[in-house]
Structure 1
C-alpha cells in the first residue's frame, strides 16, 4: 500500500494470528530464553500460571502483519523508532490475536519534502479485537516519495 493510501484510510484491522506452544518456545529459545517463555512445566508454577510468549515475539507478529498487509509495495524504507511500547497482558499459546492500526499523523518532512512521515499506533488484542490488549506501540515510519 502506498503512503497516500495509508494516510487516507487511517485505520486497518489485521489478522488473526495464533501461536502454538512450540512457536513460543522456539522463538524464546533463540531470542528471549527466560524460563516462563521456554519451560512449560516451570511456567505452570510461575506467576503467569503457564507458558507466555515473549513480548518481542508479539512485536514480531505485529510487524509481520503490517509488513505483509500494509507495507508490501509501499515506499517505506526505514523507521527512526518507537515513541512507546507496552505489553499490558501476556500472550499465551492458542490465543487468537488481531491488530488494529491507526494513523495518527501523515505528513511530508519539512526539511526533506521527498520523505513522507507516518506516525501510527498499533494495538494488538486477544479475540476478535475486543479482548485484552497484549501490545500497544506508537511507531514512526519513513517513506520515499516521488512527487
Structure 2
C-alpha cells in the first residue's frame, strides 16, 4: 500500500478513492468463470437463496478493490508486490448496481533487516458501497523500495 518510497509513507495516512459500479452482467460473467455458485449466476436460485437475488462473488469484490488500488494508489516505480493479505472478511453482499470505493489507512511500517532497501507497509483497507456500508475489509501488507538504508527512517 504505497504512493511513494518507504520514506514517503506516513503512518496514519488515510486515502479514499475509486468508484466502481458493478453490473449484474459483470457479476454473472465473473462468477461463471471463477465462482459458479447458484446465487452468483442463476436468477431463480439467487431469489430462493438467503440473499434474495444475485450477488457478487467475494473474490470479484476483492478483484475490483485491487483494481481501484492499482489505478489510484500503487506506484509501479516503487511497489514490490505483497506477501499476502490478512483477515479478509466479506461483511455484506455486493449487489448489481452497487457502487464501490476503497478506504485505506497506513497502520505501521517496517524496514527489512535483511534487505534494508525494502520496506513493508501494513494497512487497513475497507471497501464501501454507495450507502457507506463496509462490504469487505482486509489487513494489507505491501512491500516497497526505500531510497536510503538510514536508521532514522526505520520505524517512522
TM-score, normalised by the number of residues in structure 1? 0.91
3-state SS, counterpart of residue 76 of structure 1: coil
Gapped regions of structure 1 (runs ≥ 5): none
Q: Which has the higher strand share?
A: 1
Partner of residue 153, structure 2: none
Aligned-partner Cα distance in 1 for 2:67–2:125: 12
Gapped regions of structure 2 (runs ≥ 5): 149-156
Partner of residue 110, structure 2: 107
**How big is the alpha-carbon RMSD for the aligned residues of Structure 1 and Structure 2?**
1.6
Between structure 1 and structure 2, the one with the greater Rg is: 2
How far residue 121 of structure 1 moved from its aligned partner, in angstroms, is: 0.9
How many pairs were matched up? 145
Q: 1:16-65 CA distances to partner (integer Å, 9 max, x unpaired)?
A: 11100000000001111101011122201211000000000000011001
Contact 2:39–2:55 under 8 Å retained in 1: yes
TM-score, normalised by the number of residues in structure 2? 0.86
- 2:124 counterpart of 1:142: no
Segments of 4+ in structure 1 off by > 2 A?
3-9, 144-147
Work out which of the residue numbers 4, 25, 42 in structure 2 matches 1:2.
Answer: 4
